[in-house]
Amino acid sequence: MSNLIVPDWDTYDRQDAFPYRLDDINSFSLSVDFPAIADWDNAQLRSKLHDRLHDDVTKLLRTAEFYRESSLEQSKGPDYFAVDFKDDVYDFQIACYNNRLLVRKSGILLRTFHHWYYAAVPSFKQVFESVLSVMSKELSRNQAITSVLYNFAFVTHDFSDRGRRLKNYQVLSKLITQVPSKSGEIGSMSEDPRDISRLDYKVNYWDGDEKDKRRRITYSVEGPSNHGFTGLWFNFSYGSETYTDPDSGVREWVEPAVLLEESDRVYDFFWQRAMGGFMKSLLSHLSFKTTATYIP
């Protein structure tokens, strides 16, 4: 009997159908930072941590019902060690650096990512805490989480409006209406800005207004000139950051580890606001494609 609960893709919040137009997500990452380990070259310490990480990821595969433990591989480099799940669908990597644990998920069909997220992400908290507990014991100091960041990325391309092909800067003109001219003065963006190598738009927001409940969310889209101005790179982040009251200047305490318990809240942001809000506002009137890898 399965204990795994994954909301059914075909019935997940049909109030807004726009996310279903996005075939692929390009990547996902989840990182936690902790105090840097000065003695990172200690081979014995890194070996113990690597073994613990492998054991914990093995447990995660069972909880997520991914199984295929034989597809787990260990890798390492000068500044990291990692455990890779070499699966053709649910692949991911967890890498450990001297101040960070980082989960990476490569691009995949969005509906498959939906299942992967609900199956795997809630369990990463236990993996992080387990590895940090070994660090704390071996270093004789508390290795607490100092920040948490979730990041979702999309690559969209081949834009058209009722059959008329569009460049990425034409799509971004809804967000970026003025740019520096050749003289440096701010002016309207020309119809064909060949001198612009890329256009970037990024806004950070505070999400929530209760003490200890505020989270920093980021909307970002990049329009580079490569591929003939045909693609847009979207990044949406949800993370922890110390909040400072703009009137009093008083800083609020934030417990970053709590964010690892908020995977549902993060997914709601991802679905409702990142895809169903930001991307919908910019792209819903257009035809376009998404890719899980590179623009073909």
**Mean per-residue pLDDT pooled into runs of 10, the chain (296 residues):** 79 76 97 94 94 97 94 94 96 97 97 96 97 96 95 98 93 90 82 78 88 88 92 96 79 87 95 95 97 94
Identify the CA nearest to 90 among candidates 74, 104, 75: 104
Beta bridge partners of 82: 75, 95
The C-alpha atoms of residue 26 and residue 113 are separated, in whole angstroms, by 10
Backbone angles phi, psi at 213, to 5 degrees: -110, -5
Structure tokens at 39: 């003695």
Determine the pLDDT at residue 2.
Answer: 65
Give the three-class secondary structure for 280. helix
User: E strands, the chain, where?
Assistant: 24-33, 72-77, 80-85, 92-96, 100-109, 147-161, 164-166, 178-180, 186-188, 198-207, 215-224, 231-239, 287-291
The C-alpha atoms of residue 213 and residue 259 are separated, in whole angstroms, by 9
Q: Are 133 and 145 in contact (CB under 8 A)?
A: no
Cβ neighbours of residue 262 under 8 Å, at least 6 residues apart? 215
The C-alpha atoms of residue 264 and residue 275 are separated, in whole angstroms, by 15
* Ramachandran category for residue 249: left, alpha or beta (phi over 0 → left; psi -120 to 50 → alpha): left
Determine the pLDDT at residue 12.
Answer: 76
User: How many other C-beta atoms lie within 10 A of the C-beta of residue 127?
Assistant: 23
The amino acid at residue 288 is F
Determine the pLDDT at residue 192.
Answer: 62
- Strand 24-33 versus strand 147-161 pairing type: antiparallel
Determine the pLDDT at residue 1.
Answer: 47
Q: Are 22 and 290 in contact (CB under 8 A)?
A: yes
Determine the pLDDT at residue 209.
Answer: 73
User: How many other C-beta atoms lie within 10 A of the C-beta of residue 261?
Assistant: 10
Q: Are 49 and 135 in contact (CB under 8 A)?
A: yes
State how far the alpha carbon of 238 is from the alpha carbons of 112, 123, 217, 283, in Å: 21, 18, 5, 22
* Ramachandran category for residue 295: left, alpha or beta (phi over 0 → left; psi -120 to 50 → alpha): beta
